[in-house]
Amino acid sequence: MSNRLKDKAALVLGVAPGNIGEAIARRYVEQGARVLVAGRRPEALTAVADTLGVPWLACDITSQADVEALVAHSVERLGGLDVGVNATGWGLLKPFLEHSQEDLDKMNAVQFTGPFQFFQALLRHMPKGGSIIQVSSVTASIMFDNHAAYMGTKAGIDHVIRCIAHEFGHQGIRANSIAPGGVADAPMSGGGLMHPGIAALYHREIPLGRSGAASEVADAALWLASDESSFVTGQVIHVSGGQTLRRNPSLAEVYAAVTGAAGTR
pLDDT digits (tens, 9 = 90+) for 1-59: 579 999 999 999 999 999 999 999 999 999 999 999 999 999 999 999 999 999 999 99
CA distance 76 to 17: 25
Q: What residue ranges of the chain have pLDDT lower than 70?
A: 1, 188-191, 261-265
Alpha-helix runs per DSSP H in 89-210:
101-108, 114-124, 148-168, 196-205
At 226 the three-state DSSP class reads: coil
202 beta partners: none
CA distance 257 to 220: 31
CA distance 90 to 37: 18
At 144 the three-state DSSP class reads: coil
pLDDT of residue 258: 87
Helix%, strand%, coil% for the chain, nearest 5: 50, 15, 35
* Cβ atoms < 10 Å from Cβ of 142: 19
pTM: 0.95
Phi, psi values for residue 183, rounded to 5° = -85, 115
CA distance 96 to 112: 19
205, 247 contact by CB (below 8 A): yes
pLDDT of residue 179: 98
34 beta partners: 9
Name the region of 14 (left: φ>0; alpha: ψ -120 to 50; beta: rest): left
HSE-CB for 1 with a 13 A CA cutoff = 8
Active-site residues: which are they?
150
- Domains of the chain and any CATH numbers: 9-186+213-241 (3.40.50.720)
CA 9 from centre of chain: 18
